[in-house]
């Protein structure tokens, strides 16, 4: 297990993903504002990790509050939740994580629970969500493993691994589970411009697990597919709309179209809390625009002429028609996704905390 972040008595300790793979160092967040900065600056990133970090952020905000009465604390909780909700717009897990802790707070406060007990319970919940994320990733890994070839090469885009979760991974969790079951897999990791999550993070964590990994530039996948070198594609998700349209790291959409053209299965692996029943289709998913400097500069060095126009959308939406299956901890969803998602939601109602109240 790779300790992406953890709750400690001193604060929340985050492995600094901006420094990987060259340096393994940690950033300690001792208040909710620091947690917001850690999420915004991508010291922690990846939808499930962002969700649980945000839950811990609300919990640490409540735990460290000096409010002496519930009305004062409730006003602070609103500010804490708003601050965390404003960090990154696309991954629905952020809003889910905030809503989980805020809902518990509201229940306890409205029943007049004493502040010390509220503090204890919100911290316990945030830590439970952490453990549940690991269990969910292992469960979805078990459901997805048999979809991957017994022997072959699997392409992934961005990092949907231990680093993007609480320690096992979604897309890489499925790969890990398949390898644990004896599949002989080689992984191709798209470098994932401009932030290089594939080259820096996926390669780093798979090499730590001794899973054979090769990095390729984002524009090479089509060529390798045309040569029969890729047997499956598996990616994570930042938000899945109610009809199965899936937002994931920029470049995922192009890979999905290439996979369809070459008859290669394209899988999405995500915990069920990444499905946003309140968003009907991909058109309603907000796409984060990041700093142009991520495109203009590489390793601190300017790569583009002064003044040139720059685009930097951090995510794109893959229409559901390109997705062979969506792998969740409750099982594998197949098209038509609107029906399959509705049925799964009905049997896992607890997972579907309303998130509209915090965005
Ligand atoms: O901008 P990032 O690095 O947070 O984007 C991460 C991704 O797009 C992942 O593929 C997604 O969050 C799934 S992580 C299990």
User: In the prediction, which pLDDT does 359 show?
Assistant: 59
* Active-site entry in 133, 190, 238, 245: 238
How does 83-110 read in b/e, with b if 16+ C-beta sit within 10 Å?
bbbebbbbbbbbbbbbbbbbebbeebbe
User: How close is the Cα of 160 to the center of ligand 1, in Å?
Assistant: 6
Q: Catalogue the long-range contacts made by 319-322 (C-beta closer than 8 Å, 24 or more residues apart).
A: 319/245, 319/253, 319/282, 320/243, 320/244, 320/245, 320/246, 322/253, 322/256, 322/257, 322/259, 322/260, 322/266
Q: Residue 162 belongs to what domain range?
A: 141-358
Q: Is the C-beta atom of 121 inside 6 A of ligand 1? A: no
Which of these three, 139, 154, 175, is where a domain ends?
Answer: 139
Q: Is the C-beta atom of 47 inside 6 A of ligand 1? A: yes
For 77, the token pair is 């909780």
Contact residues for 192 (Cβ-Cβ < 8 A; gap 6+): 157, 158, 159, 198, 199, 202, 218, 249, 251
Which of these three, 99, 116, 139, is where a domain ends?
Answer: 139
Residues 271 and 320 in one domain: yes
Per the structure, the count of domains in the chain is 2
Contact residues for 56 (Cβ-Cβ < 8 A; gap 6+): 5, 7, 12, 35, 126, 127, 130
Q: Is the C-beta atom of 63 inside 6 A of ligand 1? A: no
Sheet holding 239-241, edge to edge: 275-276, 239-241, 246-249, 315-318
Give the span between the Cα atoms of 122 and 128, in whole angstroms: 10
Which of these three, 139, 171, 191, is where a domain ends?
Answer: 139
Residues 169 and 23 in one domain: no
Q: Is the C-beta atom of 197 inside 6 A of ligand 1? A: yes
Q: Is the C-beta atom of 161 inside 6 A of ligand 1? A: no
> What does the DSSP 8-state code read for residue 262?
T
Q: What is the CATH number of the domain that holds 131?
A: 1.20.120.420
User: How close is the Cα of 110 to the center of ligand 1, in Å?
Assistant: 36
User: How close is the Cα of 69 to the center of ligand 1, in Å?
Assistant: 39
Known catalytic membership, residue 276: no
Contact residues for 345 (Cβ-Cβ < 8 A; gap 6+): 272, 275, 277, 351, 352
User: How close is the Cα of 159 to the center of ligand 1, in Å?
Assistant: 6
User: In the prediction, which pLDDT does 355 show?
Assistant: 53
Residues 134 and 178 in one domain: no
Give, for all 359 residues of the chain, the pLDDT tens digit: 678 999 999 999 999 999 999 999 999 999 999 999 999 999 999 999 999 999 999 999 999 999 999 999 999 999 999 999 999 999 999 999 999 999 999 999 999 999 999 999 999 999 999 999 999 999 999 999 999 999 999 999 999 999 999 999 999 999 999 999 999 999 999 999 999 999 999 999 999 999 999 999 999 999 999 999 999 999 999 999 999 999 999 999 999 999 999 999 999 999 999 999 999 999 999 999 999 999 999 989 999 999 999 999 999 999 999 999 999 999 999 999 999 999 999 987 654 444 555 65
- Which atom of ligand 1 lies nearest, measured to the CA of 93? 12
Residues 15 and 150 in one domain: no
User: How close is the Cα of 38 to the center of ligand 1, in Å?
Assistant: 15
**H or E element in which residue 37 lies:** helix 32-40
Residues 165 and 252 in one domain: yes
Among 20, 159, 268, the mutation site with the greatest number of ligand 1 atoms within 8 A of its Cβ is 159
Residue nearest to atom 5 of ligand 1 (CA): 46
Residues 199 and 300 in one domain: yes
C-beta of residue 28 within 8 angstroms of C-beta of residue 11: yes
Residues 146 and 215 in one domain: yes
Residue nearest to atom 15 of ligand 1 (CA): 160
Q: How far is CA 329 from CA 63, 109, 174, 269, 315, in A?
A: 31, 32, 11, 9, 23
Pick the closest to residue 315 from 111, 91, 103 (CA basis): 91
For 125, the token pair is 């919940």
End-to-end CA distance of the chain: 32
């Amino acid at each position: 297990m790779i300790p992406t972040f953890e709750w400690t008595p001193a604060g929340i300790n985050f492995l600094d993903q901006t420094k990987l793979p060259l340096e393994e160092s940690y950033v300690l967040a001792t208040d909710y504002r620091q947690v917001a900065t850690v999420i915004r600056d991508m010291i922690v990133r990846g939808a499930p990790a962002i969700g649980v970090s945000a839950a811990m952020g609300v919990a640490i905000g409540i735990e460290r509050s000096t409010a002496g009465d519930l009305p004062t604390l409730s006003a602070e909780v609103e500010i804490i939740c708003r601050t965390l909700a404003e960090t990154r717009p696309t991954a629905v897990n952020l809003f889910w994580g905030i809503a989980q802790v805020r809902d518990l707070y509201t229940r306890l406060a409205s029943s007049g629970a004493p502040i010390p007990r509220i503090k204890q319970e919100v911290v316990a919940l945030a830590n439970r969500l952490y453990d549940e994320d690991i269990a969910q990733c292992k469960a979805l890994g078990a459901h997805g493993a048999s979809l991957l070839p017994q022997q072959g090469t699997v392409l992934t885009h961005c990092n949907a691994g231990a680093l993007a979760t609480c320690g096992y991974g979604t897309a890489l969790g499925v790969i890990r589970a398949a390898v644990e079951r004896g599949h002989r897999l080689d992984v191709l990791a798209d470098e994932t411009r401009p932030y290089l999550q594939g080259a820096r993070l996926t390669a780093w964590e798979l090499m730590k697990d001794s899973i054979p990994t090769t990095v390729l530039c984002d524009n090479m996948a089509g060529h390798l597919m045309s040569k029969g070198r890729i047997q499956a594609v598996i990616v994570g998700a930042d938000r899945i709309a109610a009809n199965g349209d899936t937002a994931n790291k920029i470049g995922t959409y192009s890979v999905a179209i290439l996979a369809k053209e070459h008859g290669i299965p394209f899988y999405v692996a995500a915990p069920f809390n990444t499905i946003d029943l309140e968003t009907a289709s991909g058109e309603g998913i907000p796409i984060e625009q990041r700093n142009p400097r991520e495109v203009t500069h590489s390793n601190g060095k300017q790569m583009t002429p002064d003044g040139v126009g720059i685009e930097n959308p951090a995510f794109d939406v893959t229409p559901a028609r390109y997705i062979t299956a969506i792998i969740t901890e409750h099982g594998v969803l197949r098209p038509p996704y609107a029906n399959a998602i509705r049925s799964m939601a009905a049997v896992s109602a607890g997972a579907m905390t309303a998130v509209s109240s915090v965005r």
